[in-house]
Amino acid sequence: MKQTIPLVDIEPLIKGDAAGLRAVAAEIGQACRGVGFFYIVNHGVEPALIDETFAQSHAFFALPLANKRALAIEKVGGNRGYTGLLHEALDPMRGADMKEAFNVGLDLRADDPEIMAGARFRSLNAWPRDPRFKRAILAYFDACLALGAQLHRAFAIDLGLNADFFADKFTRPMATLRLLHYPAAGEAPGAAIGAGEHTDYGNLTLLATDGAAGLEVRTRAGEWIAAPVISGAFIVNIGDCLMRWTNDIYVSTPHRVVSRSGLERYSIAFFLDPDPDALVAAIPGCVAAGQSPRYAPIRAADHLTARLDASKPRAKEGS
């Protein structure tokens, strides 16, 4: 029987329904141990906010190329700003990715102590001129951050931990919101490969998509399965950091974006990494009696640095 990506109604988690919370956590945990991907519905993020964020994404990518390049990652730094078509190659063996993207991180002030100190993974965001873009993007960022915190409560419960186990490890997280645009397949050579095969680096990814399909997931059996579009749902996947934290109990699954319909596609990915100083050490309950953890403890910033270095010449993640 062909494996599918499960769908989880997380309303009890969002509403704090104790009676349904453990059942939701168990469903999520089963998905994390299996395919590593799951859909969530009744997640609490307002449809109007999602629609407005997509509208602002459309407006940004419709700008003249010169306007977008003025905000290029190479100029802005810190993995913030715009990256153009064929700029990244998540799977170099398959060629460059036919996508463009715009990245936003935790929005800090210029006088923030970590900005002043030049801390790793702390940078200022860059914004286009239209103030509606910044308002929508930051509101969506905050909504995803809150939803990510709720999902970590479910992870903790499933893993036999206190529900707040992860809370103090995500106070100023290394989170990235990425707007993505994949042109229609006929617009340029090689457009079928929107994003090459890769895993994500952090704890989890929240993905919102438009009506065009394209995401494909590789199961543990090595089979590629399509992730169909489900209106109003987020697609959630586990990243390398949480896989390490759980001693490989949860799985970070390879995935890719392939345009088979020939349609233009937009998506919004929220990548949630822990605070830079959070210690990622194997959760004791995830290590079998008499066994040693598969990984040594590591600071989250060092883990992300190692993953980025190991991926070179590959570029940043994208879904």
Within 37-86, residue ranges assigned H as helices are 47-61, 65-69, 73-76
Q: What is the pLDDT of residues 183-196, one digit of tens each?
A: 886 554 444 666 66
Say what the pLDDT of residue 306 is: 85
DSSP annotation string for 166-204? TGGG-SS--EEEEEEEE--GGGSTTTTEEEEEE--SSSE
Q: How many CA atoms lie within 13 A of 194 on its CB side?
A: 28
Helix (H/G/I), strand (E/B), else coil: 6: coil
Contact 260, 54 (CB under 8 A): no
For residue 119, the one-letter residue type is: A
Say what the pLDDT of residue 190 is: 44
Cα–Cα distance for residue pair 196/15, rounded to 1 Å: 37
Listed residue (57, 59, 40) closest to 210, CA to CA: 57
Say what the pLDDT of residue 184 is: 80
Say what the pLDDT of residue 188 is: 47
Contact 41, 24 (CB under 8 A): no
Secondary structure percentages of the chain, helix, strand, coil, to 5: 35, 20, 45
- The C-alpha angle 41, 135, 213, rounded to 5 degrees, equals 40
Tell me the CATH architecture of domain 7-311. Answer: Sandwich (2.60)
Decide the pairing of beta strands 7-9 and 37-41: parallel
Neighbouring C-beta atoms of residue 84, cutoff 10 Å: 14
For residue 186, the one-letter residue type is: G
Q: Which pair of structure tokens corresponds to residue 184?
A: 């229609």
Structure-token match 């995830």, residue found: 286
Flag residues of the chain having pLDDT under 50: 89, 188-191, 313-317
Listed residue (163, 121, 139, 154) closest to 274, CA to CA: 121
Q: What is the pLDDT of residues 123-145, one digit of tens each?
A: 999 999 999 999 999 999 999 99
Q: Which pair of structure tokens corresponds to residue 98?
A: 């036919």
Q: Which pair of structure tokens corresponds to residue 109?
A: 């002030």
Q: What is the pTM of this model?
A: 0.91
Listed residue (95, 73, 93, 91) closest to 82, CA to CA: 73
20 contacts: CB under 8 Å, gap ≥ 6: 11, 12, 13
Q: What is the pLDDT of residues 35-73, one digit of tens each?
A: 999 999 999 999 999 999 999 999 999 999 999 999 998
Cα–Cα distance for residue pair 155/157, rounded to 1 Å: 6
Cα–Cα distance for residue pair 254/252, rounded to 1 Å: 7
Say what the pLDDT of residue 58 is: 97
Listed residue (234, 233, 254) closest to 243, CA to CA: 254
Say what the pLDDT of residue 31 is: 96
Cα–Cα distance for residue pair 78/120, rounded to 1 Å: 8
Say what the pLDDT of residue 88 is: 61
